[in-house]
């Protein structure tokens, strides 16, 4: 049902023929250059791999305008919170920007355990996914997708377009880790052990030479003693089962639904909580990497659990289009097909098309709040007040940091596509290009998150 719902929705917009025949034509991909097929392909790439893609047939730089508009909006916010003089001073503070680059790079370099674990699980998950897809699916489908995407685009145009859209999602490889099944299975196992008291207490806290332990904000809550371990392993187990059933039923690219109306809320919520716990782990590792004295080498889930539910909010801020896409698509399957010709249908077409790009562009305005979560007590209110302090103290530096992160993601992802597309057309070429683009933007995401954590630390109240 999910495979036919998307093309039918856009076919109704074009008013082409009967619904069934239009859906079949768009779904099969036989009509190269078909706007409905292109919109469906863009949505499938986002849902299956968090690769933002233009939903229209001809090349477009709308992603660039969305990015520039978000920076302009963030600059206006900086003018309000900092005043024009301080905001402009921080924008042209070249030594300050260079220091931020060094300090954020140092955090990532010192978080060796985190980097090695992410690379290992990423390679394992993506390689396994591509192998299963190659063995189980029809190879002509991937080749048709590639032909559809490249018919109206030269390689450099596709690379530029994909690079710009990658710049709108600098944290795409860190805020959506629940789709990495091997990593999620390990996280669920650790959360279950924490909930059942099978883990020893967390080791000595880390701190600077002048601090024997972490500040009090990190010791007021015990992650293992709260209810979050039960929530995480429960939601994680259900989401793992959901993903396995979806793959077994052939719904690899799109969310599996059509059973209960409540699934439109439950599936995105499970996804958000699992993403949040994994992001909390990354935040705690990068936060601790900035201290001069490093604690125990063994990872304890308690530190990550202490950042919930604020870390889940961070995922919603970093990738709002991920959860909105799942919610709208699952809800769509419980609506009559005639809705496509109504105002609601027009909204759904926009939301599942350019609306995803616009939503990701708007999220850059509040992306700095993700770094604040690392220094919070895990409450949403604490993270909100911390973001206000960040805007008052470091908004100018934040704008430049996001611009540098987007430029790096754009450059690296934009170079991958022209290189991979030099290969002869095949069903695995487009998924491989998307995967390699994620490989090269993973370090950019780590640096971006480290820079946000560094800026948030600078804005902490002085003691």
Q: What is the pLDDT of residues 162-211, one digit of tens each?
A: 999 999 999 999 999 999 999 999 999 999 988 887 776 555 444 443 34
More confident residue, 87 or 12: 87
- Could you tell me where the DSSP H helices lie in 179-335? 181-195, 228-248, 263-289, 301-305, 310-318, 320-332
Nearest to 315 by CA among 367, 343, 276: 276
Each residue of 92-122: pLDDT tens digit?
Answer: 999 999 999 999 999 999 998 899 999 999 9
**Residue 425 above 60 pLDDT?**
yes
pLDDT tens digits for range 230-263: 999 999 999 999 999 988 887 778 888 877 788 8
pLDDT cut 70: percent of the chain above it? 84
Inter-residue contact 410 to 167 (CB < 8 Å): yes
Q: What distance in Å separates the CA atoms of residue 330 and residue 335, rounded to the nearest whole number?
A: 10
Q: At what angle do helices 35-49 and 19-28 cross, to 10 degrees?
A: 60
Q: Where are the domains of the chain?
A: 2-458
Per DSSP, the residues of 318-368 read H-HHHHHHHHHHHHHTTS-GGGGGSHHHHHHHHHTTHHHHHHHHHHGGGTT
Identity of the highest mean pLDDT range in 17-31, 77-91, 415-429: 77-91
Mean pLDDT of the chain: 84
User: Which is higher by pLDDT, 290 or 134?
Assistant: 290
**Distance of alpha carbon 103 from the chain centroid:** 24
Please state, in angstroms and rounded to a whole number, the distance separating the CA atoms of residues 314 and 311: 5
Q: Which of 1-5, 133-137, 295-299, 379-383 has the highest mean pLDDT?
A: 379-383
**Does the pLDDT of residue 446 top 70, yes or no?**
yes
Residue 21 confidence class, pLDDT cut points 50, 70, 90: very low
Spatial distance between the Cα atoms of 307 and 118, rounded to a whole number of angstroms = 19
pLDDT tens track for 25-65: 444 444 446 788 888 899 999 998 899 999 988 888 888 99
Q: In the prediction, which pLDDT does 135 show? A: 67
Can you tell me the mean pLDDT for 373-386? 93
375 token code pair: 């220094």
pLDDT (average), residues 139-145? 77
Choose the weakest-confidence range: 212-226, 305-319, 353-367.
Answer: 212-226
- Cα–Cα dist 236/256, whole Å: 16
pLDDT in the model for residue 61: 85
- pLDDT of residue 85 exceeding 80, the answer is yes
């Amino acid at each position: 049902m999910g495979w036919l719902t998307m093309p039918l929705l856009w076919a109704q917009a074009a008013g082409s023929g009967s619904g069934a025949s239009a859906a079949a034509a768009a779904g099969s991909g036989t009509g190269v250059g078909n706007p409905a097929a292109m919109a469906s392909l863009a949505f499938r790439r986002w849902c299956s791999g968090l690769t933002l893609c233009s939903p229209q047939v001809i090349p477009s730089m709308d992603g660039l305008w969305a990015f520039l508009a978000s920076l302009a909006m963030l600059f206006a916010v900086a003018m309000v919170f900092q005043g024009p003089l301080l905001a402009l001073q921080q924008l042209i503070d070249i030594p300050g920007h260079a220091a931020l680059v060094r300090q954020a790079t140092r955090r990532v370099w010192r978080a060796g355990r985190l980097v090695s674990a992410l690379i290992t699980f990423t390679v394992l998950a993506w390689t396994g996914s591509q192998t299963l897809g190659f063995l189980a699916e029809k190879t002509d489908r991937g080749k048709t997708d590639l032909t559809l995407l490249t018919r109206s685009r030269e390689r450099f145009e596709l690379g530029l377009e994909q690079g710009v859209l990658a710049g709108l999602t600098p944290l795409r490889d860190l805020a959506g880790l629940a789709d990495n099944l091997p990593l999620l299975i390990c996280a669920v196992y650790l959360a279950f052990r924490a909930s059942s008291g099978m883990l020893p207490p967390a080791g000595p806290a880390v701190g600077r030479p002048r601090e024997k332990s972490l500040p009090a904000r990190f010791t007021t809550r015990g992650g293992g003693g709260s209810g979050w371990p039960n929530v995480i392993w429960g939601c994680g187990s259900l989401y793992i089962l959901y993903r396995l059933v979806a793959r077994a039923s052939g719904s690899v690219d799109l969310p599996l639904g059509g059973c209960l109306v409540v699934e439109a809320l439950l599936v995105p919520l499970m996804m958000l909580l699992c993403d949040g716990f994994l992001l909390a782990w990354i935040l705690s590792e990068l936060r601790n990497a900035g201290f001069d004295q490093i604690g125990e080498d063994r990872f304890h889930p308690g530190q990550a659990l202490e950042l919930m539910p604020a870390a889940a909010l961070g995922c919603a801020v970093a990738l709002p289009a991920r959860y909105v896409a799942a919610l709208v698509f699952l809800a769509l399957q419980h609506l009559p097909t005639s809705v496509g010709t109504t105002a609601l249908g027009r909204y759904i077409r926009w939301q599942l098309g350019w609306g995803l790009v616009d939503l990701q562009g708007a999220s850059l305005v509040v992306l700095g709040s993700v770094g604040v979560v690392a220094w919070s007590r895990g409450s949403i209110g604490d993270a909100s007040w911390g973001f206000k302090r960040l805007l008052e103290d470091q908004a100018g530096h934040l704008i430049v940091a996001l611009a540098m992160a987007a430029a790096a993601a754009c450059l690296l992802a934009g170079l991958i596509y022209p290189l991979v597309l030099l290969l002869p057309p095949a069903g695995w070429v487009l998924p491989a290009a998307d995967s390699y683009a994620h490989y090269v933007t993973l370090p950019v995401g780590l640096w971006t998150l480290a820079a946000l954590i560094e800026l948030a630390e600078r804005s902490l109240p002085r003691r």
